[in-house]
């Protein structure tokens, strides 16, 4: 895929960037128009082992997407090169525009499998996985999302090991695995990664603490990154990638000044129904609670409404709670 630089992409986030939420982002950021949408969508990650198991059909729900979401990259995780080879073929068959391997997730259950962030401790295996994926993907761009080190910063050694495999792109989350998200992202490390990758043909995408498109553009200028990945800021804010000036403001600014509370709550209810329709048989509705926390804040009565929403068990109950709230205003 050819992208203008700097480009801005939607981060893969477990139980956040699922098929329902991505559809909303595409709709409300007006993806496909000259001023709207992420330049690339990423799916939430899916286990390569699971995709080759008896539970494959269940997991394939996580890889559903609409045509409006192109270009879209499927993110996967695991530790067995042969499984990445097979899943590379599957991802190509499913019509994705790229495949991304997670080598930065700090979740203990993921690391116990030798996957995610644990691969930073095993560069040889990481390279074998990448090579198997490239071979299986049959020409699809293959990329990595990772961190700047495991216990401590090891950017040069780790990034150089990845660059040897001729990846299409590396997304650098500018923290170590040990730091999780407890400290500010160190964007000077993204700038270092850009220098390391210069002349290799591998794109560097920066990630960590990006608040909006203006902030993304600033970080791209300061670091020289080819692209910027935006994650947590999009929670409760499917309009974030809309390039119209009204929407290039921070979450706090939206909540207090720009967005009508009624409209924001309407979209939240739409989100709940869409989640129920698309994922109701494969995911617990409680997943919507993290979205409620993001949508419902910054206005009078938000705390009380959030409390009510946390008690809801389906979209209808969520809609009723919102209607009662609005009718008492």
DSSP structural state of residue 41: E
Paired strand residues for 206: 172, 228
Question: Average pLDDT, stretch 22-42?
Answer: 89
Two structure tokens written together for 150: 């495991």
d(CA 22, CA 68): 10
Question: Average pLDDT, stretch 64-70?
Answer: 95
Two structure tokens written together for 72: 């879209």
249 catalytic? Reply is no
Question: Average pLDDT, stretch 169-179?
Answer: 96
DSSP characters over 186-210? -HHHHHHHHHHHTTTS-EEEEESS-
Work out the number of other CB atoms within 10 angstroms of the CB of residue 244: 12
CA contacts within 13 A on the Cβ side of 281: 7
For 185-235, write each residue's pLDDT tens digit. 999 999 999 999 999 999 999 999 999 999 999 999 999 999 999 999 999
Topology (CATH level 3) of domain 7-241: TIM Barrel (3.20.20)
Of 105, 130, 204, 288, catalytic? 105
d(CA 43, CA 17): 6
Cis before 240 (ω within 30): no
For 245-291, write each residue's pLDDT tens digit. 444 444 555 444 445 788 899 999 999 999 999 999 999 999 999 99
Pick the residue with more confidence: 45 or 249?
A: 45
> Which of 130-139, 144-153, 246-255 has the lowest average pLDDT?
246-255
Question: Average pLDDT, stretch 151-171?
Answer: 97
The pLDDT value recorded for residue 259 is 54
Question: Average pLDDT, stretch 80-88?
Answer: 98
Ramachandran angles phi, psi of 136, nearest 5°: -70, -35
Mean pLDDT of the chain: 93
The pLDDT value recorded for residue 257 is 47
Question: Average pLDDT, stretch 19-31?
Answer: 93
Pick the residue with more confidence: 5 or 36?
A: 5
Confidence band of 33 (pLDDT split at 50, 70, 90): confident
Evaluate the CA torsion angle 72, 78, 84, 90 in order and state its sign: negative
Is residue 32 predicted with pLDDT exceeding 80?
no
Two structure tokens written together for 298: 């910054």
Confidence band of 106 (pLDDT split at 50, 70, 90): very high
Radius of gyration of the chain (CA): 20
The reported pTM is 0.93
| Contact (Cβ atoms closer than 8 angstroms) between residue 118 and residue 90 | no
The pLDDT value recorded for residue 36 is 79
């Amino acid at each position: 895929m050819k992208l203008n630089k700097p480009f801005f992409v939607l981060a893969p986030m477990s139980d956040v960037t699922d098929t329902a939420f991505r559809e909303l982002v595409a709709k409300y950021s007006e993806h496909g128009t000259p001023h709207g949408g992420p330049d690339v969508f990423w799916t939430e990650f899916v286990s390569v082992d699971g995709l080759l198991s008896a539970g494959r059909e269940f997991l394939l729900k996580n890889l559903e997407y609409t045509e409006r979401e192109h270009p879209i990259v499927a993110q996967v995780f695991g530790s067995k090169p042969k499984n990445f080879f097979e899943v590379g073929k599957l991802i190509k068959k499913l019509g994705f525009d790229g495949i991304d391997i997670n080598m930065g997730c700090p979740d203990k259950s993921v690391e116990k499998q030798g996957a995610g962030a644990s691969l930073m401790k095993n560069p040889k295996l990481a390279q074998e996985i990448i090579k198997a994926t490239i071979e299986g993907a049959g020409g699809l761009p293959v990329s990595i999302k990772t961190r700047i080190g495991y216990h401590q910063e090891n950017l040069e050694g780790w990034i150089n090991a990845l660059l040897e495999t001729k990846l299409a792109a590396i997304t650098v989350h500018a923290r170590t695995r040990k730091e999780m998200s407890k400290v500010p992202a160190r964007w000077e490390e993204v700038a270092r990664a850009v220098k390391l990758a210069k002349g290799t043909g591998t794109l560097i995408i920066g990630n960590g603490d990006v608040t909006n498109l203006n902030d993304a553009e600033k970080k791209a200028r300061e670091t020289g990154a080819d692209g910027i990945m935006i994650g947590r800021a999009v929670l409760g804010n499917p309009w974030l990638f809309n390039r119209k000036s009204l929407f290039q403001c921070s979450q706090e600014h939206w909540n207090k000044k720009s967005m009508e509370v009624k409209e924001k709550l309407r979209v939240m209810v739409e989100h709940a129904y869409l989640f129920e329709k698309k994922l109701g048989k494969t995911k617990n509705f409680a997943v919507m609670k993290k979205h409620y926390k993001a949508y419902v804040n910054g206005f009078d009565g938000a705390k009380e409404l959030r409390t009510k929403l946390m008690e809801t068990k389906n979209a209808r109950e969520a809609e009723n709670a919102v209607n009662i709230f609005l009718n008492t205003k």
